[in-house]
Amino acid sequence: MTTRKWLGALMALGCTLATAQEPFPSRPLTLINPWAAGSSTDVMARTLAEEFRKQLGQSVVVVSRDGGSGVIGMNVLAQAPADGLTLAFTPMTPITVQPHYVKGLKLGPDSVQPLCGVTENILGVSVRADSPFKTIGELVAAAKKGSLSYGSPGPNSAPFLAMDQLERDQGLKLVHVPYKGDAGSIQELLAGRLDFVSSIAASAAPQIRAGKLRLLAVASERRHPAFPEVPTFKELGMAVQEESFAGLFVPRGVPEAVLGRLDAACAAAARSDAVRQVAQRGDQVVFHQDRRQWDRRIHDEFRKQGAAAERHAQ
């Protein structure tokens, strides 16, 4: 090897080592919001971005890539470089539910890396304040005598899947009316065109506090802290538990050291007053899950939803 070539090789090696030792992050980060701008997910994403900035010392830019019930944004994430500089914040449904219903979708627990869980959106059943049903038991008893109608965000949504469990557990035959979101079904309920709605409890919370709706039961493991008087289905002996968690994801292949840094930043963000205040204002619950817990949760939920999809297809 000539002296010139040897010096060139040495300089290249030096650059490679410098790059390898470069502290993370050396550039600003991007946080994808796979849902509409201005949504509760967007608001929390922007709060997390600010907390990550404090932890990592780099700005975090939030970009909305909505569409396909979160699928478009998560596909963008899956194709991003595995350098830890691109993240996404979303409810887990684009990864755990949509792949079982959207033909050809290449998303799933192994197409992206679950980083950490941040919040839980507790699901619940609500009726109008003047409804004859004062408890979920009364509603179920009426549904056994005659068909009742309810609204949800659609046949592959978590609120619908909760009612699917209720139908199977209690031997009911409910009339399902799908909408594009919680707002449409709640408006129809208020107009008297539905018997009840299954939705994120937070979506119905303003009308519940205004005395226009009544929350009968929630589908989580524990009661909603904003409505501690409302029981869970599980407490009432009904096999209905459909949880809706939201968290952060990164592309597959991010180096272990970078994942550890991001996981620690997420834990700090979840403990912050800002995240807790935003969650409280939106009637969400901060429910931090570290990388291993979140990864296990996503894989378990994916298998559960796959089994539910197979039942629907029969």
* Residue ranges of domains in the chain, CATH in brackets: 27-119+243-311 (3.40.190.150), 121-234 (3.40.190.10)
Closest listed residue to residue 246, CA positions, set 48, 25, 30, 29: 48
Which amino acid, 110? Answer: D
Long-range contacts at 46-51 (CB < 8 A, ≥ 24 apart): 47/274, 47/275, 47/278, 48/89, 48/118, 48/248, 48/266, 48/269, 48/275, 50/274, 51/265, 51/268, 51/269, 51/272, 51/274, 51/275
pLDDT one digit per residue (tens) for the chain, 314 residues: 454 554 444 444 444 443 445 789 999 999 999 988 887 889 999 999 999 999 999 999 999 998 887 899 999 999 999 999 999 999 999 999 999 988 889 899 999 999 999 999 999 999 999 999 999 999 999 999 999 999 998 877 889 989 999 999 999 999 999 987 788 999 999 999 999 999 999 889 999 999 999 999 999 999 999 999 999 999 999 999 998 899 999 999 999 999 999 999 999 999 999 999 999 998 999 999 999 999 999 999 999 999 888 877 76
DSSP state of 246: E
Considering only CA atoms, give the Rg of the chain: 23
Are 115 and 252 in contact by the 8 Å Cβ rule? The answer is no
Cα separation, 306 vs 215, in Å, equals: 29
Collect all residues with Cβ–Cβ distance below 8 Å to 284 and sequence separation of at least 6. 40, 44, 119, 120, 121, 202, 278
The pTM score is 0.81
Q: Which residue has the tokens 């907390």?
A: 51
Strand order across the beta sheet in which 60-64 lies: 60-64, 29-33, 86-91, 245-251, 112-120, 285-289
Looking at the chain, the number of H-run helices and the number of E-run strands are 11, 11
Which residue from 166, 157, 87, 112 is spatially nearest to 299, judged by alpha carbons? 112
- pLDDT, residue 10, reads 42
**DSSP secondary structure letter of residue 119:** E
